[in-house]
Structure 1
Amino acid sequence: MTEATATIDEPAFELFTDENPTFALLQNGRTMVLATAKERANFQSQMKSKADTGEEGRRKGLAAWVLSDYEKCVALLAPHQGDDVADYTRAKALMALGRPGEALPLFKRLSDSYPDVARPRGGALEAQLEAKLIEAPDTDVAALVEEMLKGAPDDFADSAEGRYLQGRRAEFMNDTQSALEHYLAARDLDPTLRGNLFRAAYLADRAGLDSVALECYQMAVQLKIADRPMMLNYGVLLEDHSRDEEAAAIYDMVARLDPTDERARLYLADARSAMDMFYDEDLERKEDKLNQILRIPITDFELSVRARNCLSKMQIHTLGDLVCRTEQELLSYKNFGETSLNEIKEILRTKGLRLGMPREEAVASIEARARRPVGEDSDPRNRSITDLQLSIRARRTVESLGCLTLGDIIKHSADELLGMPNFGNTSLQELRSKLAEHNLKLTGE
């Protein structure tokens, strides 16, 4: 369908002129508004021209939800408490902001007013569950959800909201298959339930069901309900399948929405690098080895108090900070003498580095050390994590734990790793297999 025919065939989204805008209208309109930068800009322009009070303010608050500006949505709709659409939209915005305790009374009022409608009841029960987990993280989710379902009408369990809550219960009980069945059933009943799509995609991802996870993430992006965590997870999964161009597009969307998001910008740079046909993998391995070493904190080494204090005052915190300095620069600093200088030079010598060393020379030196025959005192635990040649997902996880060597990795247990974002059983088995090649195991195995 071309842009021209889409304009003719699809109903226009007229939030500011519609006689009685509903939340369903907002949900459908969001897809249209966020379809292109031009549509978004036009909608924002309309929104800015409206007053913050009265009926215009109410509709402006609804518009803020469409644009995912949840803080503004909550503020503009607060004066309209008692209005069903305003209350439901504000409650959804509060949930998106991670404030379920404030959303609960709004959902509760709507649920009491419409006892036979699943959506407000589902919102109330989810808000109650999330608020309880914030208050008491060790809450028995299975027991709480079971109690919730007993208090709901008989047909609620078969609704999208009911299936979602049953999925949460099954997931808490580590029944992955049952949880996924409930989540996917809820998705088929109502694909706009963002929390459900996220849980389905995340659980499928961890279980190694990549095709299911990709389908759920893609649906969330197409419906314009994917938040930052969902989009980043989606991008990582696309990279795992060598779909780097698609991953870069996802990261670019996140980066454009928030230019200060350093994680998205880093992922975007990685994906773009992988798209380069002339990418030099050998050079990348060398650079990785260098960067791992240059990131080692100075505090990891035994230095005299005087040397440590001087380096700290000079804002030298890592070996990378140190390598770029010359002997003259260090000696020119007050209280930094020959003794401290010799300490520093010895540290660098053990890493094949020296002060004032050009980057190209540092890369070559580290590569040369990596090619040296294994000596009697060599220990696989001292090898760099780059030697494992892990997938992007697994490598990012161990790096986020601060691991630089294989010895750092085996200090962690399987449970710790599985608790990390984007790290599931597939990644765990990969890591175990790679460590086994060096006769190493994770803690507790």
Structure 2
Amino acid sequence: MTDADATFGAVQAVDSATAQKYYEQGLAAEQACDRPAAVKAYQAAYTANPDDAEICFRLAYALDVVGEEDEALHLYEECIKADKPHLNALINLAIMYEDRNELSKAERCIRQVLATNPTHPRASLYIKDIIASKAMVIDDEAEKRNEKHMVLLDTPVTDFELSVRTRNALRKMNIRTLGDLLKVTEAELRSFKNFGDASLEEIKAMLAQKGLRLGQSVEQHQQAVKEQVYEQLAGSHGDNEMLGRPIADLNLSVRARKALALLNVSCIGDIVLKTEAELMGVKNFGMTSLLEIKEKLAEMGMGLRTLEG
């Protein structure tokens, strides 16, 4: 052993001994409820031996108790970098993360504890609390997004720069808000008298600016209607199967079949989700074809969808 090695070993020994001395002073101060003295002693111990995980933890805890949260957080993070992280440091760190709404970090800490000790009582309780908190945050965020979306849908169409012709057409159709526009399809708009391509494109551009589109709410409504129809027919033998039967089984005219194909209607259940306006908005679809379809549906005890009042 060289003189340098001997000197280094002596310094290390002195540091460890010094660290132990101050550490014991810190414990005594804690027992005496002298928190400032405990912090001072643990700081001296940590300075002498910063690699001791227990000293690091006691200093972090002492600082945490006196309200020095930022410094405590940093030291807790140092404690868990060891090959065998200090479990109490992980738990206290998780609590601090949760208080700061850093729930993913808090969850990682607790799961690290449970990976070492799956039956750890405090960790088992905290993981449930953290998961519940994350769920609440998700619910709150979803509610805020929904509220913001509803405010947007309640925006009057008169707030936008539309041509006089388009404004008048929407007023005659009793379409007052952006939400109203999401309830009608392009085919339904086209079916109204004097509603042309220019007005249609104007409305589509306006909605696109807000990330919306015509008929956006129709799909959800159609699904609800479909479920309602199935429920109404549930008591009749074979009616559910009837809704799934192909359009060809209705023996419709060629013109009526072509119109339904343009609307992506493939089975009887799809027809009952369409309105008269949607059908009449299809090119070359006339009153004769409409009456033909309504009669076929009436024979089955069904009808076309009606718009909400």
Q: Shorter chain as normaliser: what TM range?
A: 0.3 to 0.5
Query: Which of the pair has the greater relative contact order for Cα pairs under 8 Å at 6+ separation?
Result: 2
Q: TM-score, normalised by structure 1?
A: 0.27
